[in-house]
């Protein structure tokens, strides 16, 4: 996967010497440039992406339609008399899972009106499947935002999160890299495994600071410098 270009204004300020850079997958939450990172794990097998849409509406209107478009293919369910949102999600599930005309990209399930979609092929690529819910304006049904339930992962793809001395996971207490640019959750960005960094621009979890991790960072070849204007 291609990571975004490094924002020069961040890179030039954070890095004070040579660094060893790579692309890293920033997991779970947005992170700002300068964030000190820990490994959030390396899957031993590929993980399938899962997303969901929750439908609501007390009185769905019979004959109106609710559609879900997956990877450019539309699946449209006509509301029947007395249908609930769970019935509607079940109808969409049946259309999506149809052996002949169903989706080539995902399988569907329904939990009380929550349509759950799982990529058929495990791995990162499943995160990029486009899914759009389109209830008719007069259907009496509303579709919630598309929710990521599970981020697809390739086998051996290391994930990164902010280091946290209070984490219940030992690996997340161990600093291993520095983020070199602002990054949205579950996207790739430039990180540095070792090098020299401006101390005042490093970002930690609440309650942590450079004194918490300075020795551990130094042991991994990450050195901090005070910048004097």
What are 62-90's pLDDT values in tens digits? 999 999 999 999 999 999 999 999 999 99
Report, as an integer, the average pLDDT of 106-112: 98
pLDDT at 229: 59
Cα 218 to Cα 214: distance, rounded to the nearest angstrom: 6
Burial (CB count within 10 angstroms: exposed 0-12, middle 13-18, buried 19+), residue 153: buried
Q: How confident is the model at residue 1 (pLDDT cuts 50, 70, 90)?
A: very low
What is the number of alpha carbons within 13 Å of residue 5 lying toward its C-beta? 3
Token pair of 173, please?
């207490």
What SS3 class is residue 32?
Answer: coil
Domains parsed from the chain with CATH numbers: 8-42+156-225 (2.40.300.10), 50-150 (2.60.40)
Model-level pTM greater than 0.85? Answer: no
| Long-range Cβ pairs for the range 59-63 (8 Å, 24+) | 59/140, 60/84, 60/85, 60/88, 60/139, 60/140, 60/141, 61/138, 61/139, 61/140
- Partners of 222 in the beta sheet? 195
pLDDT in tens, 93-102: 999 999 999 9
pLDDT at 84: 98
pLDDT for residue 4 is more than 60: no
Cα 217 to Cα 77: distance, rounded to the nearest angstrom: 56
What SS3 class is residue 165?
Answer: coil
């Amino acid at each position: 996967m291609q990571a975004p270009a490094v924002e020069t204004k961040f890179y030039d300020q954070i890095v004070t010497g040579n660094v060893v850079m790579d692309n890293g997958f920033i997991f779970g939450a947005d992170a700002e440039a300068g964030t000190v990172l820990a490994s959030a794990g390396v899957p031993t097998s590929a993980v399938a992406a899962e997303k969901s849409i929750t439908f609501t509406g007390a009185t769905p209107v019979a004959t109106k339609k609710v559609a879900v478009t997956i990877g450019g293919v539309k699946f449209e369910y006509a509301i029947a008399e007395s249908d609930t949102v769970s019935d509607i999600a079940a109808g969409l599930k049946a259309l999506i899972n149809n052996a002949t005309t169903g989706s080539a990209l995902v399988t569907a399930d329904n939990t009380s009106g929550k349509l759950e979609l799982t990529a058929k092929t495990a791995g990162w690529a499943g995160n990029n499947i486009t899914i759009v819910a389109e209830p008719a304006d007069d259907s009496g049904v509303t579709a919630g935002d598309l929710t990521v339930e599970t981020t697809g992962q390739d086998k051996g793809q290391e994930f990164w999160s902010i280091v946290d001395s209070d984490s219940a996971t030992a690996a997340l207490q161990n600093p291993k890299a520095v983020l070199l640019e602002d990054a949205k959750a579950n996207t790739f960005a430039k990180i540095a495994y070792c090098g020299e960094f401006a101390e005042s621009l490093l970002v930690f979890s609440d309650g942590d600071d450079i004194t918490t991790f300075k020795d551990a960072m130094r042991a991994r070849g990450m050195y901090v410098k005070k910048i004097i204007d």
